[in-house]
Amino acid sequence: MTTIAFDVYGTLINTDGVVSRLREWIGSQAEAFSQTWRSKQLEYSFRRGLMQRYENFAVCTRQALDYCCAEYDVSLSAEQKDTLLQSYRVLPAFSDADESLVALQAEGHRLFAFSNGTTEAVEEVLRASGLLKRFEGVVSCDALATFKPNPDVYRYFMKEAGDSNDAWLVSGNPFDVIGAVSAGMKSAWVKRSDRAVFDPWGVEPTVTVATLSELCAHDL
């Protein structure tokens, strides 16, 4: 039996789920806007972690949205911004997420959601996508008032999960994979795009898969 931590946003949950709504409002800029929003969201979490000026992930998301509006010279009303921010709480799951979690459960693995998001926000988005019931629990970095890839949060996960000897992280985010491996966990990188590049830091994922479905073929 293996303990597996699943990153949520970008791994189980598709953060590009906001594109259709953005396309209605800003047209052809929607895809680029969404990608920059996600990039800035993460950048702000990194910077706040380093500066020890913690605000939760929802604040990082809102401030990243404000940045994107300025960067792309887009004028969104307060109501439109609220709609986009609320959409983060009901983003869709990737198509392979549920069946993969069911298969891993059937193999006897312990599954946890592990996220920068607050416990409430993570539970809400997982419930909306039908995935919450697949997990033994949700572990949030919010409890430590910092973010991935601070090594403390991976150690915190292993303590909370009660299994530090054979714990895995599954993530679509290279920074998250490197953080987990550096903290002593095994890790699977979900490389959903052929164009995705893993950071050349000399720290490699234990395994690399193109989809969550491929995890079941590995000896975790």
Active-site residue list: 7
Task: Kindly give, in sequence order, each residue whose CB lies less than 8 Å from that of residue 43, ignoring residues fewer than 6 positions away.
Answer: 64
What are 114's strand-pairing partners?
139
CA distances from 65 to 108, 118, 168, 197 (A): 40, 18, 32, 25
Q: What is the CA radius of gyration of the chain?
A: 17
Between 19-26 and 30-51, two packed helices, what is the crossing angle to 10 degrees?
120
Q: What are phi and psi of 42, to 5 degrees?
A: -70, -45
Return the amino acid letter for 63. Answer: Q
